[in-house]
Structure 1
Amino acid sequence: MAILEILHFPDPRLREATSPISTFDDALSRFIDDMFETMYDAPGVGLAATQVGDTRRVAVMDCSDDKTEPLVMCNPEILWAEELETVDEGCLSVPEHYDRVKRYARLRFAAQDRHGERYEMDAEGLLAQCVQHELAHLDGGLYIDQLSRLKRERIRRKLAKAARQSEAEKAGG
């Protein structure tokens, strides 16, 4: 397994829409394992393929406190959702930035597991929020798209400055 590089906003690869998965093989399974290792190492509760520069329609999640409930979503879709609420949200691709966004409190989704087996699942609370967050990534979206243009631009500038400082430290060290 390997730790993959997590892309940061405003990297244009984060805006790429994904393609459905039709081949469920050992290479996909290894990629999913790498995604889990990367997510747990970050640490995060979800990771979409676009966040590591891949355009396959797959995301991984684990919203449990003890990290014992890994969930793979290949080709996911929301079947229904209800009760829109405002929640705090952050993202591994928008490090150290959090804001309030609208998400549905409850939903049902369908997906395929790493072997291509279809399943349906009800989700609420953090799991429902994470499903919506990761599906947005798979469609080329970010949670900050719900924020004002001014807030997004402020975040972009802060992340660009942090990236420049990190590069300068690497060059000087």
Structure 2
Amino acid sequence: MNRLTGIAVLCLALMGCSSIPSDNRALNFKTEMQSPVSGPTTITVTADSLLKQENTRHLILYPLRPLPGKSFRSELDRKFAAATMYIELPPGKGNRTAEISGEINYYDHERYENGHLMGDSVRSIPVPLQTVPLTLNKPVSVSLPQGIRYSVMLTDSQP
């Protein structure tokens, strides 16, 4: 059994992985989104989980709840917003670009059933596909409609 384990470990070591840096640090993809009336929502996932695959879309859902005391510019600011962002990292050493698209949906009420956001949106705003260049440990701002701030960063630090 020990011999089989040793062979398996040797095979894994010889195979290598092009998405992991040469010093064996795992890369993370850190994102932060904030509307003019919400607090920031920060989400960090492993960069390998967002690698582009055929017939697969990687999404991250950002709830943007209006906070009390914020000044509203429009009726949409008073609504619960949920941004669905589709993120793909092309395979290759270091994942130096990200393909980002999505949509922002506004709801009258925030309601969940079995952990899934439910209800009809009162307005949906598409986010067109953007290819964003990434530099390790430097945040990049992505322009979104309705004054929403969105930043992404490829990092080697732990979440």
TM bucket, shorter chain: under 0.3
TM-score relative to the length of structure 2: 0.27
Q: Which has the higher strand share?
A: 2
